[in-house]
A and B are shown apart, each in its own frame.
Chain A
Amino acid sequence: MIGTFSIAELGHYALVLALVLMLVQSTVPLLGLYWRDQRLVAVSGSTPIAGFVLVAIAFAALTAAYVASDFSVRNVWENSHSAKPMLYKVTGVWGNHEGSMLLWVLILALFGALVAAFGANLPSTLRARVIAVQGWIGTAFLLFVLLTSNPFERLHPPPLEGRDLNPILQDIGLAIHPPLLYVGYVGFSIAFAFAVAALMERRIDAAWARWVRPWTLAAWVFLTGGIAMGSYWAYYELGWGGWWFWDPVENASFMPWLAGTALLHSAVVMEKRGALKVWTILLAILTFSLSLLGTFLVRSGVLTSVHAFATDPSRGVFILAILVAFIGGALALFAWRAPDLKQGGLFAPISREGALVFNNLFLVTATATVLIGTLYPLALEAVTGQKISVGAPFFNLTFGPLMVPLLMALPFGPLLAWKRADLYGATQRLGVAMIAALVAAVITYVVAGGKGVLAPLALGLGVWLIAGSLVDLAERIQLLRAPARTSWARFVGLPRSAIGTVVAHAGIGVMVIGIVGTTAYQTEEIVSLSPGESVDVAGYTLLFQGMSPVTGPNYREDRGQFLASRGGAEPFSMTPSKRFYMAREMATTEAAIETIGFSQLYVSLGDEIEGGTVAVRASYKPLVTLIWLGALVTSIGGTLSLTDRRLRIGAPKPAAARQPKAASA
């Protein structure tokens, strides 16, 4: 700080300049197309990059204000504290409404800049339109930040100490979860911009799908990681040991994921077969619309949750206006122009295309049920004033049954040929996977002591997905039918996207096994313990040794000492605690988690009752880590697919130039 000048002023100024550039980016390239002036069209190649640099400067300035604990900036005062560890000073930048919206805009500008930088091989008219649509979104959100959520507001005189960050957010999870999630959310804006641009051009072809797929896939990989990270964070931080609550805020990120998954698959059909064009465009619009809806639900304050940092009606109305303008505008354009798009690629119902349509049908229907469950309480309250809660029972009844046929059918998809396929042949080839799934189900049934049939079957479904994916891989490399060397050569020669498909689908199977293991077979004990007493859970004995006080940088905590043992094995210590953050006078629960194989022992503390007796929740969660490992495997599959040569260089080249290599793709 020099005198009363703060680096925040620099950031504020950069942000206003960025808005000006966004306005240029929104209009000039389109005017250039209209007036047939190449110089104006060429603006789309450089403006997004400059705009990104300016937003990055603004973001860096806010970060600098946080690092320096500059409490003359209202946002820093409200959400930081000089004693807060440095990591949380930095992550605290987006641990609040204003900062997180700035991160949103930063990522949007980054995507715009990437299209500008790497889009040289796009048709120049398409690129100009895509960049312009990105500019509209950027303009809308920059206006939102500057008019309703300015992170650079100043305070005079500056307070001496900040109010600290919400303790629940003081966790490494905040460093990872929001950025991943936003890259996913906002990344779908590219698919949206391409869809709107294609409608403006009245032209769409396989090259369009080839361009859109990597962007969508990249966004999807990040969104998958972001949701999984959020789930794990809630699991260990909230102290309940639940990994998914069907909370509206979770649904807000899950809906774009479901629609994005459908989009990925329909874009394959469009790229390979030229079919489902209109549908793919619609999905691209819907996926980003759901991202916008998610932003609205989380940021407007219509929901109360740990994500709704503050409520201010003007923000809600502003985002709602953005939402209506973009979704309404895009759908109107779709209704007007979609009939002009030429359809192509006939196929039989039993075919690869048919399987992907099946996938889309179920994913989109599932998205719709989640959407209804999420919005119904809001709508009902607005109309009748009645307050209701739609929770896990509703989603288990609606979403669950839709997933079963989808997952059962999944392994068939990759084994079916394009255009017309042999279902009987595919079934025969999947025989091994079916046997594996049944064996797994029977073993689970026996090990679980013959209780319940559904859980073993569901676990078998997970094995079916993994084994089915492996069958797909084995078929592709002709394992055991050709000599080992030939198989190896085929494996090496497989396109990365084929391996990516196998890995991503197997990851879903891994996740299903984790979900079933935890949901059906977890054991939990809730007891009050005095020092010297112990509790048994799933064969482990937890001996409570007592509480000891510990002082952290900006909190005090009461740490419970537990000694866990099982049979004659080496005992290990577990130390769950109750923390009290002084600045906000807030308590948090820090669970102790011990990973044993893929399972976890989870211990969290309740209140101290009296005389050193505490309430203790101890649970054993079989295979729980597979939930997030499965998501990780699926993300790795997506990433592998992204590195496919076809997608990396696969921009629209004239068909003739591509011919010699096209056979392998």
Chain B
Amino acid sequence: MTRKQRRLTMIAGAGLVFTAAAVLVLVGLREQIVFFYSPTELAEKQLAPGTRVRLGGLVVDGSVERGADGAVSFAITDTANDVEVAYRGILPDLFREGQGIVAEGMLTDALHLEAESVLAKHDENYMPKEVVDALKAQGVWKNGVGLTQ
């Protein structure tokens, strides 16, 4: 092989790998990502059952009901709308009523979520960033103050 041919072989090989990776990334970004919604956005969008979503908000006081074998249901609110969540498994340590959480799973209808995971990731105010933004959208959150209602 001449020097030029060698170089072409390598560039063609590299191009192939880059192209394959780019295709995978594009497919991944179209199909494997999950959109985040607040309860109000879910109420407005009326998404089809079976859609995968991340839902964030506050756990409604008094809504947590525990069934057998780790089944639990609760409601999530952004103070304007509520969404019912069903979950089976172990809730995170920081899960409690009034706490901001993020649940990810499949919608069974527009305002019912079958969660596969429940996260209570937190900053120092014990409030996930997505939830803070959702509460700000409802005008019930102030920076540095917290919940105003």
Contacts and interface: CB of A to CB of B under 8 A. Distances in A.
Does chain A bind chain B?
Answer: yes
Interface of A: 239-240, 301, 304-306, 308-311, 346-349, 354, 357-358, 361-362, 365-366, 368-369, 372-373, 376-377, 386-391, 393-394, 397-398, 401-402, 526-528, 578, 586-589, 604-607, 609-610, 615, 617
Nearest to B38: A387
A304 B122 contact: yes
Interface of B: 1, 3, 6, 9-10, 13-14, 17-18, 20-21, 24-25, 27-29, 32-36, 54, 66, 68-70, 88-91, 93-95, 104, 121-124, 128-130, 133
20 contacts: A239-B90, A310-B124, A348-B1, A349-B1, A357-B10, A361-B17, A362-B17, A365-B18, A365-B21, A368-B21, A369-B25, A372-B25, A373-B28, A387-B54, A390-B28, A398-B24, A401-B20, A402-B17, A528-B69, A607-B90
Contact of A376 (B29, B121, B128): B29
Nearest to B129: A304
Task: In the A-B complex, list the 10 residue pairs whose CB atoms are closest, starting with the nearest.
Answer: A387-B36, A606-B90, A393-B32, A394-B32, A587-B93, A394-B28, A304-B129, A398-B24, A397-B28, A526-B70
Nearest to A358: B13
A609 B66 contact: yes
B89 A526 contact: yes
A388 B21 contact: no
A528 B35 contact: no
B36 A310 contact: no
Nearest to B130: A387
A393 B27 CA distance: 11
Contacts of B13: 349, 358, 361
Q: Which of B29, B34, B89 has the most CB of A within 10 A?
A: B29
B24 A397 contact: yes
Report whether over half of chain B's contact residues are helix, strand or loop; otherwise say mixed.
Answer: mixed
B33 A388 contact: yes
A311 B127 CA distance: 12
Contacts of A609: 66
B91 A607 contact: yes
A397 B32 contact: yes
A254 B98 CA distance: 35
A374 to B, nearest CB: 12
B10 A397 contact: no
A615 B70 contact: yes
A604 B90 contact: yes
Contacts of B18: 365
Given A361-B13, A587-B94, A617-B90, 18 more contacts: A240-B90, A348-B6, A349-B9, A349-B13, A369-B21, A372-B25, A372-B29, A387-B36, A387-B54, A397-B28, A402-B24, A526-B89, A528-B70, A587-B93, A606-B70, A607-B90, A615-B70, A617-B89
Contacts of B90: 239-240, 526, 604-607, 615, 617
Contacts of B1: 348-349
A373 to B, nearest CB: 7
B6 A349 contact: yes
A586 B94 contact: yes
A301 B124 CA distance: 11
